[in-house]
Amino acid sequence: MKTELATAVSLEPTDKPSGRSMQARGRARRAELLSAARRMLDHGSLDKISMSAVAEAAGIPLSSAYHFFGDISDLWKELARTIASQQASEDLDLPRVSSWQELIKASLVHHQTAFNSDPAARKLMLGPHTPADIKNAACKEDYRFGTALWIAVRSQFNLPELADSRVLFFKALLIADVFFSLSVSEHDRVTDEALSEAVLAVTSYLSVYLPNQLAQISRDSDG
């Protein structure tokens, strides 16, 4: 009897998936749903794509999809946050330049390229019919873009105390967002004209807080 009980107990853990493997499976399914939704936005619009369509494209049961996202709006918010994080992190790899104005332009050129090459990013973050809560999920959560640009600038230049603020750079990028959004609304892309206007507007705003020239930080002191 003791032998049979010991055998049963020893077999029990192998009969159930471990918590770690279930978590990994859950993360994989969540990522598959986001990936499928992103692909569908290449040719579809937010208001025409349903949760059932995304689940089918991802090869995941609809009930499982609703386990991860309460509704399609929650999925779009998560995808917007994911794309925003990817774009913002790339600001940390901007090239070294000789002036802060050049760095601002380099950042905005990068974002123009990113938006123009990614329909999902344009529709979620700049689309004229995108609900405000979805756009806010991308732009306002943790001040992603402003924080990334603030870090990029202060890694190359000595910022005056008044301007050493991620909120300041977040507000500056909200100005660029106006020009980018108008351009997407009219042309379905960020035009070079919109980029030029955004660069002018953002640098003009930051010039209120920053001198025309900032002392550069040498490479030896980076990090």
Q: In this structure, what are the phi and psi dihedrals at residue 42, rounded to the nearest 5 degrees?
A: -60, -35
Given this model, what pLDDT does residue 18 score? 66
Which structural domain, as residue segments, surrounds residue 143? 75-221
**Global model pTM greater than 0.85:** no
**Are 102 and 140 in the same domain?**
yes
**Are 56 and 81 in the same domain?**
no
Number of domains in the chain: 2
**Are 107 and 202 in the same domain?**
yes
Residue pair 34/81 in contact (Cβ under 8 Å)? The answer is: no
Given this model, what pLDDT does residue 203 score? 98
Query: In the numeric block, which tokens belong to residue 220?
Result: 């030896």
Given this model, what pLDDT does residue 220 score? 61
- What's the CATH code of the domain at 159? 1.10.357
**Are 66 and 158 in the same domain?**
no
The CA-atom distances, in angstroms, between 201 and each of 30, 180, 187, 204 are: 39, 12, 20, 5
Given this model, what pLDDT does residue 24 score? 78
pLDDT along the chain (223 residues), means of 10: 46 57 83 97 93 97 95 96 89 92 97 96 93 83 82 94 89 95 97 99 97 88 51
102 alpha carbon, distance to own chain's centre: 23
**Are 130 and 48 in the same domain?**
no
